[in-house]
Amino acid sequence: MNIQMTGRERILTTLKHEEPDRVPISPRIWAWLLSEFGKDDLATHLKECPDMDHMFNIPNGTLNIMDSYPDIYDLPEVEVTQKKSMDNQLIVVERTFHTPAGDLTDRTQIPPKGTKFGISPDPFKTEYLVKERSDLEALRYLLTPINQNFDHLHQHQKEIGDRGVIAVTVSSALDYQAGYARDMQDLMMDFYEDRPLFDELMGMYHQRTLEQIKAALEAGAEFIFGSWFFASLSSGWSPTIFEEVFLPQIRDHVELTHQYDAYYDYYDDGNLKNSIEMIASTGIDILETCTPPPVGDLDLAFAKDTIGDKVTLKGCIDLLLVVKEGTPQLINDTVKGTMEIAKPGGGFIIGSTDSFREGTPIENINTYFKACKKYGIYN
C-alpha cells in the first residue's frame, strides 16, 4: 500500500523520473477561477482546488514598459506623454517617450475584461515603439531596473507549504518584450534583411531575462517558469531559425537555473512536433503544455518514447474541445488514455493545454479531477 504523498513530494518525485503515489494533477485553472470567484490568487487556488498539486506561477517583479501602462512612469531622463481614450469598447493608449536619444511612440488597444473578448484578453498593438534601428538607443532608456525584492516569493512559498511549489515567471526575450517592442512580422523579416537590428534587440532583452533569473534564484526560487510561446513554431518561426536563435537562449536559461539546483519549466502551448527534441536537448526539466491534435500537433507516445526519460511532460488535456465542450464521458476517456501513455515510470504531470476557461461547466471540472485521481494511481 502506497503512502500518500504531499503535493510537493509528489511533484519532486515525478521530476526525478520516479513513481510517486499518483500522477501530480496541475492544470492551469486561473481563468476559470477568475470568472467564477473574481480572484485567481494562490489562496483561491488552494481553497477551490483541494485535489490539485499546485505549481503556482508568480511574476519576477521587474516592470516591463512593453506590457504595462501605468498613469505615472518612473523613468529617469525620460518624459512620457500618454493619452488614454475609448474606441467603441476598447481602451486606446497612445504614448510618446521623450528620451535623450530621441522620441519613441506606440499605440495599444486594450479590450475590456469579461466581455466577448474573454476574462483576461491580451492587448494588441497597432503601432510599435521600434520602427528602425536607430530607435534601439532610445529604447534602452525604457529598460527599468531588475527587481531584487522577492518578499512576494517568500510569502507565497510559506503560504503554499507542502501543497505544491512556487515558480517565478521569466519570459523569453521575445515574449511580451522584443515581440511587443517591434512587430513580430517585422522581426521575422529583420532576421534576413536587417540582422544587426534583430540581434541587438534580441540580445538586449535576452540579457535582461538572465538578470531576472539570477535575481530570482539568488532570492531562493526553486522553479523558473519560462514563457516561450512567442518563439514557437506556431508563431511562424522556422525550425532553422528556432535552432539558430532561440535554442542557445533556452540553453542559457537552463544552465543558469541549474547552477542553483533549481528546475526550469518550459512553456509553449503551440506546435511542438518539429522542435520537441531540440528543446529537450537544452536540459529543461519540464515541458508544457504538450498540446495534442487538432489544436496542437504533439504525439504524446512519441514524446514519451523520445524525451520522456529526460524531460517531465506536463499538460496534454485539451482545455476547449475536451474539458469545456466535451461530455463527462469524453473527459474520463481522454484522461484515462493519456495516463496509459504517459504515466509509466514517472516523469508526467497531468494538466491542461492552457487555463480552463470561463464557461466551463463545474461538472466537467469535477469530472476532470475525479478521473485524474482515479487513473493516476501507481500500483
pLDDT at 129 over 60: yes
E strand intervals along 15-74: 54-59
pLDDT at 1 over 60: no
What per-residue confidence (pLDDT) applies to 228?
98
pLDDT at 3 over 90: no
Q: How many CB atoms lie within 10 A of CB 359?
A: 12
pLDDT one-digit tens code per residue, 323-340? 999 999 999 999 999 999
pLDDT one-digit tens code per residue, 229-248? 999 999 999 999 999 999 99
Average pLDDT, the chain: 97
- Cβ burial, residue 179 (10 Å; 0-12/13-18/19+): buried
Residue 120 — very low, low, confident or very high, per pLDDT cuts 50/70/90? confident
pTM over 0.85: yes
Q: Which residues contact 344 (CB under 8 A, 6 or more apart)?
A: none
Task: Provide the pairing of β-strand 312-315 with 286-289.
Answer: parallel
CA end-to-end distance (rounded Å), the chain: 8
Amino acid identity of 256?
A: L
pLDDT one-digit tens code per residue, 92-119? 999 999 999 999 999 999 998 877 788 8
Helix (H, G, I), strand (E, B), or coil: what is residue 224?
strand
Nine cell digits for residue 228: 516561450
- Cβ burial, residue 225 (10 Å; 0-12/13-18/19+): buried
pLDDT one-digit tens code per residue, 257-301? 999 999 999 999 999 999 999 999 999 999 999 999 999 999 999
- Residue 51: C-alpha distances to residues 136, 157, 234, 246, 333 (Å): 48, 19, 33, 36, 19
Amino acid identity of 326?
A: G
Using only C-alpha atoms, the chain has a radius of gyration, in whole angstroms, of: 21
Q: How many CB atoms lie within 10 A of CB 344?
A: 13
What per-residue confidence (pLDDT) applies to 2?
61
pLDDT at 68 over 70: yes
d(CA 106, CA 197): 18
